[in-house]
Each structure stands twice: as C-alpha cells, then as structure tokens.
Amino acid sequence: MTGTTTERRLELRIAHLLRSGTYVGCLAIGLGLILSWFDGGHTARLGQDIVAAGIALFILLPVLRVTLMLAAFLKQRDAYFAMAAGIVLAVIIISCAVGWLMRP
Amino acid sequence: MSVGFELWLFAIALGTSALGGVLGMASGIFIVPVLTMFGHIDIHTAVAASLVSVIACSCGSAAPFLLGRLTNIRLAIVLETATTAGALTGVLLAGLVPVRLLFLLFAAILIVSGLQMLARRREATARADGRWARWRLDSSYPDRVLGREVAYAVHRVPMGMGLMYGAGLISALLGIGSGVLKIPAMDVALKLPIKVSSATSNFMIGVTAAASAAAYFLHGAISAPIAGPVALGSVLGAVLGARLLMKVPADKLRLMFVVILFALAVQMALGAFGIALTQGGTT
C-alpha cells in the first residue's frame, strides 16, 4: 500500500513542520519581548521587530502546511485534493490582498 | 505599552489557556472578552491578537494528533476550502459590522458555547452510506481504549461545508476558533468519531485563523506588544493544561467554565450598550 505510506509520510512532515515552527515562533516572541523591555531606542525597537517576526511566522505556518499538502497531492497526481489545497491557498492570497488594499 | 501590562496579558493568556487545556477545549473564546472588558483594548485589536494565539495553539497542539493518526488531513483540506472562504467573508465584513453588534454576537456565542459544554457530546453512530465514498474522505483511526483500528465514514458533506463556512466567518469576525460551530458540523453533519473530529477541527483552526490574521497583519491591525504576550501565554498555558488534565476533577471545572462563559456573556452584552462593570486592568 504505497498510498497509505506516502500519506503517512506527509502527516509526519506536517507534524514536524508545525512543531518546530511553534518552537521557533515562541522563542522569537519571548526573546523579542524581553529585548523590548530595555529602555531606549535601538534594543527595544529590535525586540519589537522580533516579536512581529514571530507573529508573522505563526501566521505563515498553516499556509506552509497547505503548500506542503498541495505539493504532495500534485506529486501523487491526486487532482481532487490538489484542487482543494489550491483553492485554500488562493483564498488566503485573496484575503492577504484585501487586507493590504484596505490598509489605512 | 508598559512591561506590567505585557506581563498581565501573558499571565491572563497562560491562565485561561491552561484552564481550557484541562477541559480539552480551546480557550480562544476568553481572550477577546478579557482584553476588551478588563484590558480596555479596542475590539478589533483584541480580535486580531486573539487570532494569532488561536493559530499558535492549533500549530502547537497538532503534532500529537497527527502522530496518533487521529487527524483526517484529506477531510481537513476539503473543509478548509469552506472555512477559509468564510474567513475571507469575515475580513470583508469586519469593518462594516458595528462594534455594538460584534459585542452582542460574541455574547451569543459565549452562551451557546456554555450550553454546549453542559450537554455532553455523544458519539455518533457511524454507518457508511457510501454516498461520499468516491471522495476518499473515509478513513480509520487507532482507538486506544478498544485497542483496534476503527473505520469511519463521512456523512452529509454539503451540510458540513455550510456549517464550516459559518465557522470561518465567525472566527474572522470574533477572533475565535469557532468550536461552537465546528463541533455540530463534525458530530451531527459529518458524523465523525469524537477523537477524529477534535483532532481534525484543531488542525483546521490554524489555517482558518491564518486566512483572516494574514489580512489583519497586512492591514496593520495586529499590535505586536498585545498579540505577542497573548500568543506566548496561550501556547505555554495549553501545554500546562494538558499536563494537569488528569489531576483535576473535570466535572467541577466544567461547571466553573460554564459559569465564567455566562458571566462574560452578560458583560459583553452590557458592553454592547456601553455599560462597563469593571474598572480593572491597566491601560
């Protein structure tokens, strides 16, 4: 059953991605917050940027996960599920465009 | 933003998330009421911050479910087309819905969540009707209690998709994971085993929230000094809660949880009319 083992491999890769991404994101936010508590311009500003990067990473993680699934389904020539993953990515991109265009 | 306020945000997120974790439910629903009513933070900023923590908790807790083969990733990606479409609709509506209505909607969701917690979830009796078989959404999972592989079939996919669209919409508007709508969608419409439905729902929450959070991020609506401590506290709290899971009597805690949900609902409803009961928090 090659079908189930490739599926299993995909599940494990996703688990690994989400787990390590969570570690990095948490570390970035924690470190950034501590730096941002230093008084005075430079260090504090760097800290805030690191916090923002950690937040951006968390938002990006699920998107990366969908991309991983899209690639896997394309490789398996699984049209149904590749299409579903493609639609999800497209909706997220449209949502990004909406947010960017409506910025104050 | 003061250090004290950030620590307060972190502590609140840690506490509520641990409490939610003990009951095996997401605590995203507490964050917006607490930030708005006690922290006096604008509701749109609170929603955006809450979404980041909802994503973080979904990502942080996904691995064990995936390793235990409880998450149905094929079903998830299909349902996510509906949840993200709902989230996009929510993003478009966010600026148009009056703040008052957001508060009222939130109060309603809190009450429905409370009622849902009181009514125990019942295991759906899954019997394959074969209608959705060609979609290859059916699967099986290893049940530890039974000690064997349990096969299950997916039912009423269109109805499930409809409810998921609603869940995505509510998630984007209110900054929650929308378990309130996902649980009936999974249990009643799709008739999934509870373990599979919890794992798959948790998996989907991240993408759903990311669809709206990405828009809010690019819009500049996410305040890092608020969203950062809340996300970090939530992830750590969820880990803590899962550890405590076995040691606390769940029934008393469940009741306490429901009481808190109802109390917050009253506050949010009053908040809709500009009546604040609390003077707490530091701004």
Domain-by-domain residue ranges, chain A? 2-101
pLDDT in tens, B121-131: 666 655 556 66
Considering just the CA atoms, what is the radius of gyration of chain B in Å? 18
Q: B 79-98 residues with CB below 8 A of A?
A: 80-81, 84-85, 87-88, 91-92, 95
Low-confidence spans in chain B with pLDDT less than 70: 1, 23-27, 120-135, 245-250, 275-283
pLDDT in tens, B212-229: 999 999 999 999 999 999
- B228 and A33 within 8 Å at the Cβ level: the answer is yes
Residue A15 has pLDDT above 50, yes or no: yes
Under 8 Å between Cβ of B141 and B67: no
Residue numbers of the domain that contains B233:
3-272
B78 close contact with A: CB closer than 8 A: yes
pLDDT at B251: 74
Total number of domains constituting chain B:
1
Distances (CA, A) of A8 to A16, A33, A45, A56, B204: 12, 37, 43, 28, 18
> HEC string of B2-31?
CHHHHHHHHHHHHHHHHHHHHCCCCCHHHH
Q: Which of A59, A84, A87 sits opposite B52 (nearest CB)?
A: A59
How far is A77 from A64, CA to CA, in rounded Å?
20
Reference B37, options B137, B107, B91; nearest CA is B107
Residue to substitute from A14, A22, A81, interface B, most B β-carbons within 10 A: A22
How far is A15 from A18, CA to CA, in rounded Å?
5
B5 close contact with A: CB closer than 8 A: no
> Confidence band (pLDDT; 50, 70, 90) for A1?
very low
How far is B167 from B71, CA to CA, in rounded Å?
19
Residues of B in Cβ contact (< 8 Å) with A55: 52, 217, 222, 224, 227-228, 231
Q: Which of A14, A32, A104 sits opposite B228 (nearest CB)?
A: A32
Residues of A in Cβ contact (< 8 Å) with B225: 36, 48, 51
* Strand locations in A13-94 (E): none
CA distance B263 to chain A (A): 31
For residue B280, give the amino acid letter: G
Closest residue of chain A to B83, computed from CA coordinates: A88
- A88 and B84 within 8 Å at the Cβ level: the answer is yes
- B58 and A94 within 8 Å at the Cβ level: the answer is no
Residues of A in Cβ contact (< 8 Å) with B72: none
**What is the pTM assigned to this prediction?**
0.91
- B228 and A95 within 8 Å at the Cβ level: the answer is no
How far is B41 from B46, CA to CA, in rounded Å?
6
Under 8 Å between Cβ of B227 and B53: yes
Q: Which of A22, A55, A88 sits opposite B59 (nearest CB)?
A: A22
Burial class of residue B98 (count of CB atoms within 10 Å of its CB; 0-12, 13-18, 19+): exposed
Any idea what DSSP says for residue B233? H
Residue to substitute from B5, B17, B83, B84, interface A, most A β-carbons within 10 A: B84
Residue B279 lies in a domain: no
- A99 and B222 within 8 Å at the Cβ level: the answer is no
Residues in chain A: 104
pLDDT at B222: 93
**Chain centroid to CA B58:** 9
For residue B258, give the amino acid letter: V
pLDDT at B163: 92
Residues of B in Cβ contact (< 8 Å) with A34: none
User: What's the average model confidence in pLDDT over A38-45?
Assistant: 81
- A103 and B218 within 8 Å at the Cβ level: the answer is yes
pLDDT at B248: 64
3-state helix, strand, coil in chain B (%, to 5): 70, 5, 25
User: What's the average model confidence in pLDDT over A41-65?
Assistant: 93
Any idea what DSSP says for residue B150? E
How far is B89 from B83, CA to CA, in rounded Å?
10
